[in-house]
Amino acid sequence: MATAPEHPPVTARRRAAALAGYTGGEAAARSALADPDGGVRRLALGALARLGALREADLLAAWSDPDPLVRRRACEVVARGTWCPQATAQLVALLADPDPVVVDASCHALGEILAPGAPHRLANGQQQLNRCLGALRAVARSHDDPLCREAAVAALGAIGHPAGLPAVLEALADKPAIRRRAVVALAAFEEPEATAGLERSLADRDWQVRQVAEDLLGRRPRPAPGRG
């Protein structure tokens, strides 16, 4: 009875997929997208992006891949400049991904592609931008994972749209790392509420939050009550 051909060891397949991006091996990288190992598929995706050969169908398949690290890699290559018309909608959908590493990467990618001056910001249209901002606000306010909340706050700051400001201000009451990120994000907003938030942060319990607020406001912080 015929037996199925054996695959080379997974370490060899991963090495070959990674090297394809440096040797012009588009055919090898594309073939590796169908590998049973998620690590090989992730490296193949990066190789095709490096070669400038990543197709929309490749990204769409990667965003629905069962391996969360492949889904995360697809977000990362978009953040670094690879683009497809469905990218924004797919990234918004991934903000509800069950794996925090995917949500984190999706937040970062949205912040990159929707930042002022980003080449595809206007291509998204106002309605799409509103959907993105709404989804990021929801992550910033209520996601269970603090790293995801922090990433969403950072993305709202990178985008700098006034609609994102309320969620950034609310983050000033979150964990210290998120408060630090929120203070940095406030620098992107010119509204009086943003300045007021920086003023309040001068008395934050965390010295790093106070320091960032001081640097942004250009003044010495007021002494904070207690230690934090």
Distances (CA, A) of 14 to 26, 45, 69: 15, 11, 14
Tally of CB atoms within 10 A around 226: 5
Q: Residue 221 has what pLDDT? A: 46
Sign of torsion over alpha carbons 69, 122, 152, 218: positive
Domains located in the chain, CATH noted:
19-29+36-83 (no CATH), 85-228 (1.25.10.10)
Best CA proximity match to 167, nearest among 200, 145, 142, 187: 142
C-alpha of 179 from chain center: 18
With pLDDT > 70 as the criterion, what percentage of the chain qualifies?
90
Question: Each residue of 34-75: pLDDT tens digit?
Answer: 999 999 999 999 999 999 999 999 999 999 999 999 999 999
Question: Each residue of 115-143: pLDDT tens digit?
Answer: 988 776 656 677 888 999 999 999 999 99
The residue assigned the tokens 């997929």 is 17
Best CA proximity match to 86, nearest among 43, 55, 119, 117: 55
With a threshold of 0.85, does the pTM exceed it? yes
Burial, 8: exposed, middle or buried (Cβ in 10 Å; 0-12, 13-18, 19+)? exposed
Angle, vertex CA 61, rays to CA 37 and CA 134, nearest 5:
120
Distances (CA, A) of 51 to 20, 35, 194: 9, 19, 42
Query: Please, which pLDDT band fits residue 173 given cuts at 50, 70 and 90?
Result: very high
Q: Residue 125 has what pLDDT? A: 72
Angle, vertex CA 206, rays to CA 200 and CA 208, nearest 5:
95
Q: At what angle do helices 146-159 and 125-142 cross, to 10 degrees?
A: 150
